[in-house]
Structure 1
Amino acid sequence: MSQVHKVRRAGDRMPLIAAATGEQPSRRPVWFMRQAGRSLPEYREIRVDRGMLESCFDPELVCEITMQPVRRHDTDGAILFSDIVVPLRAAGVDLDIVAGTGPVIAEPVRTAADVAALPRLERDEVGAVTSAISMILGELPDSVALIGFAGAPFTLASYLIEGGPSRTYERTKTMMRADPELWNQLMGKLTDITITSLQAQLDAGVDAVQLFDSWAGALSVADYQAYVAPHSSRVMAEIADYGVPRIHFGVGTGELLTAMTQVGADVIGVDWRVPLDVAAHRVGYGVAVQGNLDPTVLMAGDAVMERELRRVLGEGERAVAAGALGHIVNLGHGVLPNTDAEAVTRAVELIHTL
Structure 2
Amino acid sequence: MFAPLQNDTFLRACMRQATDHTPVWLMRQAGRYLPEYRATRAQAGSFMGLATNTDYATEVTLQPLERYPLDAAILFSDILTIPDAMGLGLSFALGEGPKFAHAVRDEAAVAKLEVPDMNKLRYVFDAVTSIRKALNGRVPLIGFSGSPWTLACYMVEGAGSDDYRLVKTMLYQRPDLMHRMLAINADSVAAYLNTQIEAGAQAVMIFDSWGGVLADAAFHEFSLAYTRRVLAQLKREHDGVVIPRLVFTKGGGLWLEAMGQLDCEVLGLDWTVNLGQARARVGENGPNAKALQGNLDPNVLFANPAQIEAEVVKVLDSFGRPHNDPKNPGPTHIFNLGHGISQHTPPENVEILVSAVHTHSRRMRTVTG
User: What is the TM-score when the length of structure 1 is the normalising length?
Assistant: 0.92
| Aligned residue in 2 for 1:227 | 222
Q: What SS does structure 2 have at the residue aligned with 1:48?
A: helix
| Aligned residue in 2 for 1:33 | 27
The Cα offsets for residues 278-327 of structure 1, whole Å up to 9 and x where unpaired, read as 22233353200001111111110111001101100111235869x96310
Q: What SS does structure 2 have at the residue aligned with 1:92?
A: helix
CA distance in 1 between partners of 2:322 and 2:219 (Å): 25
Structure 1 counterpart of 2:170, from 170, 175, 180: 175
Q: What SS does structure 1 have at the residue aligned with 2:236?
A: helix
The Cα offsets for residues 160-201 of structure 1, whole Å up to 9 and x where unpaired, read as 111111122122122222222111111111112211210110
CA distance in 1 between partners of 2:348 and 2:31 (Å): 14
| Aligned residue in 2 for 1:303 | 306
Moved more, 99-108 or 155-164: 99-108
Structure 1, unpaired ranges of 5+: none
Share of identical aligned residues, percent? 38
Q: What SS does structure 1 have at the residue aligned with 2:88?
A: coil
Structure 1 counterpart of 2:69, from 74, 82, 88: 74
Structure 2 counterpart of 1:48, from 42, 48, 71: 42
| Partners of 1:96 and 1:104 within 8 A in 2 | yes
| Partners of 1:217 and 1:252 within 8 A in 2 | yes
What is the 5 A alignment of 1:147-162? 147-162=142-157
Q: What SS does structure 2 have at the residue aligned with 1:335?
A: coil
Q: What SS does structure 2 have at the residue aligned with 1:47?
A: helix
| Aligned residue in 2 for 1:263 | 262
| Partners of 1:32 and 1:335 within 8 A in 2 | yes
| Partners of 1:93 and 1:119 within 8 A in 2 | no
CA distance in 1 between partners of 2:152 and 2:121 (Å): 20
| Aligned residue in 2 for 1:280 | 279
| Partners of 2:7 and 2:137 within 8 A in 1 | no
| Aligned residue in 1 for 2:185 | 190
CA distance in 2 between partners of 1:335 and 1:96 (Å): 22
Q: What SS does structure 2 have at the residue aligned with 1:292?
A: strand
Q: What SS does structure 2 have at the residue aligned with 1:96?
A: strand
CA distance in 1 between partners of 2:274 and 2:311 (Å): 12
| Aligned residue in 2 for 1:20 | 14
Deviation at 1:94, TM superposition (A): 1.4
Q: What SS does structure 1 have at the residue aligned with 2:255?
A: helix
Q: What SS does structure 2 have at the residue aligned with 1:166?
A: coil
- Structure 1 residue 118 corresponds to structure 2 residue 113: yes
| Aligned residue in 1 for 2:338 | 332
Deviation at 1:13, TM superposition (A): 6.5
Deviation at 1:346, TM superposition (A): 1.8
1:275–1:318 distance in 2 versus 1, CA, 3 Å: farther
CA distance in 1 between partners of 2:156 and 2:256 (Å): 25
CA distance in 1 between partners of 2:256 and 2:37 (Å): 33
| Partners of 1:56 and 1:86 within 8 A in 2 | no
| Aligned residue in 1 for 2:236 | 241
Q: What SS does structure 2 have at the residue aligned with 1:148?
A: strand
Deviation at 1:239, TM superposition (A): 0.8
Structure 2 counterpart of 1:294, from 297, 301, 319: 297
| Aligned residue in 1 for 2:367 | none
Moved more, 239-248 or 258-267: 258-267
| Partners of 1:57 and 1:128 within 8 A in 2 | yes
| Partners of 2:7 and 2:139 within 8 A in 1 | no
